[in-house]
Amino acid sequence: MKRLPIWIVTTLLALGVITTWAGWYDRAEVGYIPFALGVLWILFALAAAPRVFADD
């Protein structure tokens, strides 16, 4: 598998953090689904992070 550009993993991580924060902040209005999706997004970004430094 090829290397991933660092901007992709950074963007995924930033979107996950923003989604988690907004989901926790608005949990009384929208429920816990956005919070859970944000956590999953962060885990996905962290799982992809080693591919940034992988050899081709």
**Per-residue pLDDT, 1:** 60
How do the domains of the chain map onto residue ranges?
6-51
* Secondary structure string (H, E, C) spanning the chain: CCCCCHHHHHHHHHHHHHHHHHHHHCHHHHCCHHHHHHHHHHHHHHHHHHHHCCCC
| Confidence label for 4 from pLDDT (cuts 50, 70 and 90) | confident
**Per-residue pLDDT, 54:** 80
| Confidence label for 53 from pLDDT (cuts 50, 70 and 90) | confident
Residue-wise pLDDT for 13-50, tens only, equals: 999 999 999 999 988 898 899 999 999 999 999 998 88
**Per-residue pLDDT, 2:** 77
Query: Hunting for tokens 């608005």 — which residue is that?
Result: 26
Q: CA–CA separation, 28 vs 4, rounded Å?
A: 37
Q: 20: closest CA among 10, 33, 3? A: 33
